[in-house]
Amino acid sequence: MTRPAIVIGLGGTGQWILTFLKKELLEIGNGQMPPGVKLLCFDTTSAVSVEAGFGAKKENQQAVRAGAVRLEEGTEFIPIGSNVGQLARDIADGQHSHLQWFPARSYLAKLNPAAFQTKEGSGQIRHMGRISLFQDLSAPNNSKVLAHLRQAFNQLKGTVSADRQMEIIIVGSLAGGTGAGMLVDLALLARAMAAREVQNNHIIRGFFVLPHAFGGGVAQAHDLYARAFAAWRELDRFMIVSDRFGLRQMVYPVTDPDLQIQIDKRAYDVSYMIDPARQESNSLDNVKAEEGLFPAVAHVLSAIIAGIRLGPEITAPYIQIYPNLDDESKALDMLRRAYVQKVTDPHAGMPAAELHVFLAEIHACAYEEKMPRLLGQDYRTLHPEVVALLDDCDHFEMFFRAFALGYIQKRKNEEQFTYWSYMLPGSGEEIFISTPHSSLRSQQEEDIFQVIHNFAIAGCDQRPGRGQYNQVDWDKLVKAILARERELGSEEAIKLYRSQIDDPNGLIQTIRRDVENRRSATTVESDKKMIGQEYEDLADLAKLIYILTVDAVKDRLSN
């Protein structure tokens, strides 16, 4: 008996794999689809372009017929492309604050108007894929994505139980526009709906094809690799969830509470990166994806739906699967090199805002570009837990300025328990950005990531019942910082900020000592490098911010 399953294909790759999966399921079922399996392909293109065994139907290209299976339009294939030109103009005018990740002004200036008509596809531009999804979700009652997801859950939820979990499988490519632009959002939307409909009785898996599968010339491959690493980097961040971890809500339409999704679980329970290249025999490296890789992935998905445990005996004869990609992965290293070249090459590069579709990574790239020059380091990407704090980089930077100026301090309550406090001079209004522990046990220091999150992202009092009424007034803080710097004068203000870098009791050295304490607790040398890397990166980024702040003070107060 098959498991209840919703299999979601994204973009062209998703359409190919779902079509081959349908073909395999029909063959197994003697012409009948399993009643507990729903196939949904979301693409920007307006019509089905794939049949199992067929080549994509392109102009002047003869289709190769090896079967007649295709996804049914309107039920299995759901086009969500539209004209996003007006939305882009609205974003460029400063509307839709939750859509400022879309580089509207840049695209409006350099792209042909036809590029904004995503019914013809996203043109391998990830932003076009993602903005098409947001456009579809902007009117929830008319959303194709929500309607088809809801219908699939309604049809299958009666067959789901604690002993018979629902499989939600999302498949696409890291290299293209539509799938790579939507792979995080679809997981968040599916998980939110699954939590309402089948509670915890579900598992979400992602299968993503690496760009090696698509070939192309050197320049084209380089672009594919860079975009794929950008997509992987974003996915990697959403695979980490903790109390201290960055953004905890994703806003789709700001008017619909159901689509302001709380992020309290990782996007995917498990994700797999798929590469046609294999060291052993049967490599699909030089085989067209539609003739080798896509049907092979479909076979693996069919096995999962049938309840067969996913292991090497299932995948090894067909494809190379990486359960996520770790830093030692050769495949990942190729993507990273292309990405670094794109974001650092001033002549042939690509702005981070056109590689990434999330603000945190866009802001991270801006810092990473400066770190080698100002810190004397090799280029590296920041740890995802650091990146998660960067959705609003202005608020993030204000934490460090406010700390140096004494507006953020560690204090002790009457029981002598430590907490972090924010208060502007003369305001008389203290905001607890951490809460003192009420315990007879020895107190643990509040984690610096949690403190920064509470200030820069939550921006409110952490005491129960106070957050709604006691919030950081960011405009007042900016005015207070600028006024205090003027009052101190250039030399004293710079000295104060430099002390956070140089003073053994400054914030940066305190963070670094904490890292060394953590590392000294292990005797395994290979583990020491991995321990506390996020704190090392946070300390380096804080140092960069103080250096940039010193330069800004010099420029503003030098006269």
pLDDT above 50 for 436: yes
- What gap in Å lies between CA 133 and CA 124, rounded to an integer? 15
pLDDT above 80 for 316: no
Q: Please, where are the H alpha helices in 318-405?
A: 330-344, 352-355, 359-375, 384-387, 393-404
Q: Tally DSSP H helices, then E strands, for the chain.
A: 19, 12
pLDDT above 90 for 51: no
Determine the pLDDT at residue 291.
Answer: 77
CA dihedral 466, 469, 474, 478 (to 10 degrees): -80
- What gap in Å lies between CA 47 and CA 123, rounded to an integer? 15
Report the DSSP beta bridge partners of residue 8.
40, 170
Instruction: Give how far Cα 350 sits from Cα of 182, 230, 347, Å.
Output: 20, 12, 9
Is the distance from CB of 181 to CB of 130 less than 8 angstroms? yes
DSSP secondary structure string for all residues of 74-117:
TTTEEE---B-HHHHHHHHTT--GGGTTS-HHHHHHHS-GGGGB
Determine the pLDDT at residue 62.
Answer: 34
Burial class (CB in 10 A: 0-12, 13-18, 19+), 443: middle
Q: Which amino acid is at 267?
A: A
Determine the pLDDT at residue 317.
Answer: 46
Is the distance from CB of 187 to CB of 267 less than 8 angstroms? yes
Determine the pLDDT at residue 176.
Answer: 87
Determine the pLDDT at residue 321.
Answer: 62
DSSP secondary structure string for all residues of 18-41:
HHHHHHHHHHHTTT---TTEEEEE
Residue 116 in tokens: 């904004």
DSSP secondary structure string for all residues of 407-425:
SEEEEE-TT--EEEEE--T
Q: Where do the domains of the chain lie? A: 5-82+117-328, 393-557
pLDDT tens readout for residues 376-386: 999 999 999 99
Range with the poorest average pLDDT among 25-34, 220-229, 368-377, 454-463 = 220-229
Please choose, from the candidates 343, 315, 314, the residue with its C-alpha nearest in 3D space to the C-alpha of residue 227. Answer: 343
Determine the pLDDT at residue 352.
Answer: 85
Report field, pTM of the whole predicted structure over 0.75: yes
Please, what CATH class does the domain formed by 5-82+117-328 belong to? alpha beta
Phi, psi of 358 (to 5 degrees): -130, 135
314-328 average pLDDT score: 52
Task: Assign 6 a pLDDT band (cuts: 50, 70, 90).
Answer: very high
Is the distance from CB of 236 to CB of 184 less than 8 angstroms? no
- What gap in Å lies between CA 404 and CA 402, rounded to an integer? 6
417-429 average pLDDT score: 89
pLDDT tens readout for residues 242-270: 766 656 789 898 788 889 998 888 999 99
Name the E strands within 295-350. Answer: 320-323
pLDDT tens readout for residues 269-311: 999 888 876 655 555 666 787 878 899 899 999 999 988 776 5
- What gap in Å lies between CA 516 and CA 483, rounded to an integer? 37
116-132 average pLDDT score: 94
User: Which among 44-53, 136-145, 344-353 has the top mean pLDDT?
Assistant: 136-145
Residue 439 Ramachandran class (φ > 0 left, ψ -120 to 50 alpha, else beta)? beta
Task: Assign 65 a pLDDT band (cuts: 50, 70, 90).
Answer: very low
Task: Assign 64 a pLDDT band (cuts: 50, 70, 90).
Answer: very low
Number of C-beta neighbours around residue 72 at 10 A: 11
Task: Assign 415 a pLDDT band (cuts: 50, 70, 90).
Answer: confident
Residue 179 in tokens: 């799938």
pLDDT above 70 for 55: no
Determine the pLDDT at residue 327.
Answer: 45
Determine the pLDDT at residue 213.
Answer: 74
Q: Please, where are the H alpha helices in 473-532?
A: 474-502, 507-520, 525-528
pLDDT tens readout for residues 487-535: 999 999 999 999 999 999 999 999 998 888 878 877 777 777 778 889 9
445-454 average pLDDT score: 88
Residue 420 in tokens: 């972090």
Is the distance from CB of 169 to CB of 304 less than 8 angstroms? yes
Determine the pLDDT at residue 438.
Answer: 63
Is the distance from CB of 224 to CB of 372 less than 8 angstroms? no
Phi, psi of 264 (to 5 degrees): -120, 5
Determine the pLDDT at residue 174.
Answer: 93
pLDDT above 60 for 236: yes
Please choose, from the candidates 149, 119, 127, the residue with its C-alpha nearest in 3D space to the C-alpha of residue 38. Answer: 149
Determine the pLDDT at residue 328.
Answer: 47
pLDDT above 50 for 56: no
pLDDT above 50 for 66: no
pLDDT tens readout for residues 169-226: 999 999 889 999 999 999 999 999 999 999 999 999 999 998 877 765 545 678 889 9
Task: Assign 325 a pLDDT band (cuts: 50, 70, 90).
Answer: low
